[in-house]
Chain A
Amino acid sequence: DAGITQSPRYKITETGRQVTLMCHQTWSHSYMFWYRQDLGHGLRLIYYSAAADITDKGEVPDGYVVSRSKTENFPLTLESATRSQTSVYFCASRVGTNTEAFFGQGTRLTVV
Chain B
Amino acid sequence: AQTVTQSQPEMSVQEAETVTLSCTYDTSESDYYLFWYKQPPSRQMILVIRQEAYKQQNATENRFSVNFQKAAKSFSLKISDSQLGDAAMYFCAYRSWSQGGSEKLVFGKGTKLTVNP
Contact = CB atoms under 8 A, between A and B. Distances in A.
B30 interface: no
The interface size bin for chain B is 20 to 34
Given A100-B47, A103-B45, A45 B109 contact: no
A54 to B, nearest CB: 11
| Dominant secondary structure at the B interface | loop
B90 to A, nearest CB: 11
A98 B31 CA distance: 12
B102 A88 contact: no
B28 interface: no
Nearest to A102: B47
A42 B109 contact: yes
Nearest to A45: B104
A40 B102 CA distance: 24
Given A42-B91, A42-B109, A43-B105, A100 B50 contact: yes
Contacts of B97: 98
15 contacts: A33-B105, A40-B109, A42-B107, A42-B109, A43-B45, A43-B107, A45-B105, A48-B103, A48-B104, A56-B103, A59-B104, A90-B45, A100-B47, A106-B44, A108-B43
B107 A88 contact: no
Interface in B47-71: 47, 50
Interface SS of A by simple majority = strand
Contacts of A48: 103-104
A105 B42 contact: yes
A50 B101 CA distance: 12
A41 B5 CA distance: 11
B91 A43 contact: yes
A40 B44 CA distance: 18
A76 B105 CA distance: 18
A20 B47 CA distance: 27
Interface string A79-102: 000000000101010000110111
A41 B107 CA distance: 9
Interface in A36-56: 40-45, 48, 50, 56
Given A97-B99, A100-B50, A33 B109 contact: no
